Amino acid sequence: MTEATLLATAETAIVIEPRAAIAQATSAPIAPYTHIRRFNYSGGVVDFIVPPGVTTINARCWGGGGLGVDTGGGGGFVTGNVAVVPGETLRVVVDLGGGFSGGGGMSGLFSQRLGQTLLIAGGGGASWNVLDARGGAGGGTSGSGGRLVTQGGATGTPARGASGSTGGAGAVVSSGSSRYGGRGGSTGQNGGADGRGDAGGEVPIPGMGGGGGAGFGGATGGGAGYAGGGGGVGMSIAEGAIYSGGGGGSSFVNGPGVTGGQTLAGNGTQAGGKTDPLYQSPVGDAGSRGQVVLQWTEFTVVPGGPPDVELRQGGAVGYPGVRVEAGVAIDPVSVTVALPPGRGLLFGTQTLADYQLTVQNADGQTTPYMGTLSEDGTSLVFSGVDLGLPGTTVMWVAVSAGYDAPLGSTALAFTVGGKTSPSTTVVVTPGYTVSPGGAPVTAERGGWPVYPGVEVRNNGSQAIGRQTVTAKLPAGAAMRFGKQDSPDHQLTVWDAGGNTTVYMGSVSDDGQSLTFSDVDLGVPGTGSQSVMWICVSATDDTPPGPTSVEFSVGDRISPSTTINVI
């Protein structure tokens, strides 16, 4: 079949061959990136959620090649690093918006958070049937124009490539005003219709780039891009025949937060950026679809220990934290530190709050940050925290356990740049301990009273509040407080300074226990000890053998000195 015959049939019979699909490939990211994802043509926009802790995405985009393996234009290539926020949505566009018929689509990224285009690689113009009438390659700053071929006395002008944000003009047949390709859409516009009313390519997201102009006859659509290339023409007329491939779309790398932006135009039927280490053949070549490749680095956040951080009830502060590791520098992030609910922990102490985060980098240098306390007092937020990466960074806060904090293990929750980890394990131990008060005592049945008691020790609490003390006689032992003719409901406390204080108690209805309120335990400093005791005696009915009084001091329970009944 001759070129003239092809041209003669092009106006009435448009045959659009499918462009080559790209096989899904797996490949390793390029150091220092740790993760990679390829996006192939899907016919629509695909959303990518920025992972926790990620603040920069490296993007590489190839525009679609125009239809016509031997005559279409290759797609353009762009790359750049995009500043992102963990959890935000990037809208990924692959080979969309090419002009009817066969124009290569744009590929790029759009920030849903900012509502703006980040970068775009332009598509190549289509050209099929006539080998010399080539489609223009995608840009660069500007796309290439289509090549015009005429036979006989036919005349006209070729389709123009896009120039920056301005769409390229469509090809025009001089002998008829209704015979023309559609104009490429300027930024934010769809591609123009051709002389028969066939619509041009549509922008994939409102405001993102320009669609390729519709081609008039044959496969002559313009390439989409930051602005679209003009549509070409393919037809026979009385004077002869005329054919122009579509123009190429332009590229763009100057979106908000994009750094290191670079763009390479396609070269004839070949895609730009074919020497890039992540290029996958035949992406972006004439007759083939485009592609977008994203790479990123995720830092890790793990608990900062061992060893565990041990806190005494009502005691001094400890410093639980986390370790952050990455092989590259990370932009400053927000850090939130939350106390575990219901565990009685405090930022700082009850008398001296502390809202500071300390960050120590791999060189041992420390930087303090002041946080903002939440209204409920359970979390601190720190803004603009420099993680001091690459390497390993440690960060911590100062916390203490309240006097009533439950005993046992817990942890704070650190959220670093959207990535959450428990802190070093925090173990809350008693602020004071209660134990039997000394050597055993001997009680004769029906004889004189004895004074069993307990010892109280301060384990590190800064100030132990007054406590309720209960003394309970052993069940079934037939013992009494004081002696038969002289009940004794006193508690005596001999404090760490050698002073004694007497408290009067309330006896229970069954006479088996005494309760003393607001008792000063007399252990003001770390390691100090006091002793407290009561008066009891054995009746004639008390069984012989060892027994003891049960003391409850606050929430601590201990048997008293052993009582040997004889």
Residue 3 has pLDDT above 80, yes or no: no
Give the pLDDT score at 10. Answer: 42
From CA 487, how far away is CA 476, in angstroms rounded? Answer: 19
According to CATH, what is the number of the domain 300-429? 2.60.40
Of 157, 160, 158, the C-alpha closest to 143 is 160
According to CATH, what is the number of the domain 432-565? 2.60.40.740
Q: Are both 300-429 and 432-565 of the same fold? A: yes
Amino acid occupying residue 280: Q
User: Residue 8: which pLDDT band, with cuts at 50, 70 and 90?
Assistant: very low
C-alpha dihedral over 287, 129, 148, 203, to 10 degrees? -40
Question: In the chain, pLDDT over 70 holds for what percent of residues?
Answer: 97
Question: In the chain, pLDDT over 90 holds for what percent of residues?
Answer: 86
- Helical segments of 353-498, H only: none
Most distant pair of Cα atoms in the chain: their distance: 139
Give the pLDDT score at 142. Answer: 98
**pLDDT (tens digit, 9 = 90+) per residue, 323-365?**
999 988 888 889 999 999 999 999 999 899 999 999 999 999 9
Sheet holding 46-49, edge to edge: 46-49, 89-96, 106-111, 116-121
CA 178 to chain centre: 55
Give the pLDDT score at 2. Answer: 35
Burial class (CB in 10 A: 0-12, 13-18, 19+), 133: buried
Residue 12 has pLDDT above 80, yes or no: no
Q: What is the mean pLDDT of residues 134-152?
A: 96
Instruction: Indicate the domain borders of the chain.
Output: 300-429, 432-565
Q: What is the mean pLDDT of the chain?
A: 94
From CA 17, how far away is CA 84, in angstroms rounded? Answer: 39
Helix (H, G, I), strand (E, B) or coil at 328: coil
From CA 276, how far away is CA 549, in angstroms rounded? Answer: 83
Give the pLDDT score at 13. Answer: 42
**pLDDT (tens digit, 9 = 90+) per residue, 67-96?**
999 999 999 999 999 999 889 999 999 999
**pLDDT (tens digit, 9 = 90+) per residue, 350-361?**
899 999 999 999
**pLDDT (tens digit, 9 = 90+) per residue, 409-421?**
999 999 998 899 9
